[in-house]
A and B are shown apart, each in its own frame.
Chain A
Amino acid sequence: MISAQLAISKARRDLTLGAIVRWAMIAAAVAALMMQPLIDGAGVIGVSILFGVGALWMVLSFRSMRGSRVAADSSTFIAAGQFELAERSIAEALDSFSIFRSVKLLSLHHLAALRHAQNRWQDSALLCQAVLMQKPRTTSGLDRSSRLLLADSLLELGDLRGVHENLVRLYNQRLTLREALNLLVVQQDYLARISAWEPMLWQVNTKVQMAELLPTLQSARTQALMALAAKNTGRLDWFDWLRKRVELLIDVQHLCADRPMLSELWKQ
C-alpha cells in the first residue's frame, strides 16, 4: 500500500523536476531562436535544436498523457470496488515522469479518493490538502473535487471547523451538478452534527429532488437527516414522508450503524 506521506513527497519532487525540464526546453528553444545567427549562419543548427526540442516535448507529452490515462483508470476501479487494481494504477501513474503538473496532481487526487473509499479518512485528508496546496487551476475542477473530498474526510474525523472552512469556499464557486450533489451530502451531514435543523430544511423541495439523484446510501442518508431535522422542528408531515421513503430505499439498521444519530427516527 502506498503511504500518503511518501506519495506526497514523490509527487512534490516530480513536480519540481517536471518544471525544471519544462523550463529547460523552453529556454533551449528561445536560445536557438535568438542565438541562431551567432551559432550558424545558415540556421541549420537552430532549426535542428528547435526540432529536437519539439520532438522531445512530444515524446514527454505522450508519456504524460499515458500516465494520465493510467490514473484515470483508477477511478473506474474505485467505483467498482476493485481497490487492489486502483492502487496499482495509481502507483504506476505516480512513478511515471510527467512534464505536466495536472497529471501528478490528478494521481494524488485519485489516491485521496481511493483512501476515502477505504474509509482511511486521515490519509485522504492529507492527500487532499497536498493537492490544494499546489493550487490546481479552478477550470480543471480538481480544486473543487479535492475540497469536497477533504470536507467529507474532515467530517468523518470530527473536525467541524475544517469542514465549515471548506464548505464556505465551495459556496463561492460555480459547481457542476455532480459537485452540487456531493456538496449537499456533506452540508446536510455537517448541519445535522451542529444541530442546525432549520437551515437543513431551507428549500426542502429542491434538496429532496437533488437527493433523488444520489446513489442509494447517500440518498437515503441525506433524506434521513432531513427527516430528523423535520422531527426536531415539528414538521411532522415531512418527517413521516421522508422516513417512509428511507425505509423503501435501504435497510434501516444498516443506515443507523453508519450514522447512530438516525436511530432516533425509529425510536418507539
Chain B
Amino acid sequence: MSEPSVQFLDVPTLLEKSQPRGSGVRFWQLAGMFLFIVLLSTYITSRGAAAARALSLASGMIMLLLVGAMGVISFTIFRRTQEEHLRLEAIEELIRLRRWTEAGILLQQMLSQPTRTSHARVGGLIFLASVLARYNRFDDAIAVQEYLLEHFQLDGGTAHGLRLARAMAMLREDHLFDADRAISDLRRDVARAGRVMNEAAAEETNEVQETEAPQTLSSGLALVEIYRDVKTGHPTEAIATFEKTLSSLREQLGHRVADAYMLIAKAHDLLHQTDQAQSYYESATRLAPAIELHRRYPETAGLAEKYQPAQAPGEAA
C-alpha cells in the first residue's frame, strides 16, 4: 500500500498542525494538590510520632524531587521557546537573502508541529505567505493572509503589510474585482490613520496639518495601485501616481523602488513613449536584476526584448 503523498507547504495541514497546545496543568490544579498534601500530612502527623517521623523524611525527599523536577521543566520550556525564536529568526534571514527553498523547508518543519507560542505561529505564517507568493502559489498565500487577518489581533503595521501583500497576490491571480475592493479598503484605512496622525500633530503644535494622499503615506499602496493601473491598461494614471509619490516611494521602499521604475517603464511602453520607457527600464535594472523584476511582474517580461538594461561593472554582472 502506498503512503499518501504530502504536498510541500500544504496550507490546510500546516494551519491545523501548528496550533499551539494548551498548558497541561493549571494554577488551580497545583493549588489543589498543595492543599491536599497539607491536609494529608496533618492527618498522618495526628496518628502518632512514628508516622510523623516517616512523613518528615518522605516529605523532605519529595520536596527535593519536586524542586529538581520544576527546575528541569522550566529550563526545558525556556530552551524550546528560545529554539523556536531562533528558528523564526533564521527563516526571516533566509527570506531576506532570497534563499526561498531553505526558508520553505524550515517553515515546513516548524509549522508541521504545534508551536510553543501563538506569537511564533503568527510569525511563521506571515513568512509562509511570502514564500508561497515567491513560488507563484498566490491562492495559497491569500488563504494564509486571510486566516491571519481573521483570527488574530495584529498591530496596525503588520495588518497593513498583510493587506498589501494580499492585494498584490489578488492582482497576480487576476482577481481584479477582489483586488479593487481590497485597494479601496486600504485607501480608507490609510486615510483614516493619516487623519488621526494629523489630529495628534495638530494638538501638539496647535497648527492645522495638511492632509496627505493615502498613496504618499503608504508607498506600498502606491505600488499596488500603479501595478493595478498598468495591468488594467491605464498607463496615464499609473504615471500620475508615480510622479505624485516618487519621493515617498524612494524613502519607504529602498531598493524595492526598482519595482515602481519597472512598472513605469511598462506604462510608458504602453503609451509608445520609448525614450522614457528605456530610461525607466535602465533605472529599474540598475537597482535590481531584470530577471527578478520580470518574475515579480510577468507583464513586463516583453520589455527585455525591446530595451537595454543598465550595464553593471564586470564584477557585478
Contact = CB atoms under 8 A, between A and B. Distances in A.
Contacts of A41: 45, 52-53, 55-56
A176 B93 contact: yes
Nearest to B60: A36
Contact of B37 (A47, A80, A214, A215): A47
Contact of A42 (B42, B250, B253, B261): B42
B45 A42 contact: yes
A177 B93 contact: yes
B287 A248 contact: yes
Interface string A73-90: 000100010000000000
B254 A216 contact: yes
Given A44-B38, A177-B97, A244 B286 contact: yes
Binding site of A, secondary structure by majority: helix, strand, loop or mixed? Answer: helix
Interface in A11-56: 29, 33, 36-37, 41-44, 46-48, 50-51
A219 interface: yes
A249 B254 contact: yes
Contact of B63 (A47, A204, A248): A47
A24 to B, nearest CB: 17
A248 B59 contact: no
B1 interface: no
Determine the interface band of chain A, counting residues with CB < 8 A from chain B.
35 or more
B63 A46 contact: yes
A3 interface: no
Contacts of B45: 41-42, 44
Contact of B96 (A33, A177, A208): A177
B123 to A, nearest CB: 15
Contact of B155 (A76, A215, A235, A244): A76
A159 interface: no
Contacts of A80: 157
Nearest to A210: B97
B316 A249 contact: no
A234 to B, nearest CB: 13
Interface string A206-247: 001000111110010000000000000001011001001100
B56 A214 contact: no
B190 to A, nearest CB: 15
Nearest to A80: B157
Given A33-B64, A47-B38, A249-B250, A42 B56 contact: yes
B71 to A, nearest CB: 11
Contacts of B254: 212, 214-216, 219, 249
B42 A44 contact: yes
B55 A42 contact: yes
Contacts of B273: none
Contact of B60 (A37, A48, A238): A37
Contacts of A219: 254-255
Contacts of B34: 47, 51
23 contacts: A29-B67, A36-B59, A36-B63, A41-B55, A42-B41, A42-B55, A43-B55, A44-B38, A47-B34, A47-B41, A47-B59, A48-B38, A51-B34, A176-B93, A205-B316, A213-B96, A214-B254, A216-B253, A237-B313, A248-B257, A248-B286, A249-B257, A251-B247
Among B45, B157, B316, the most chain A Cβ lie within 10 Å of the Cβ of B316
Interface in B75-97: 89, 92-93, 96-97
Contact of B255 (A42, A212, A238): A212
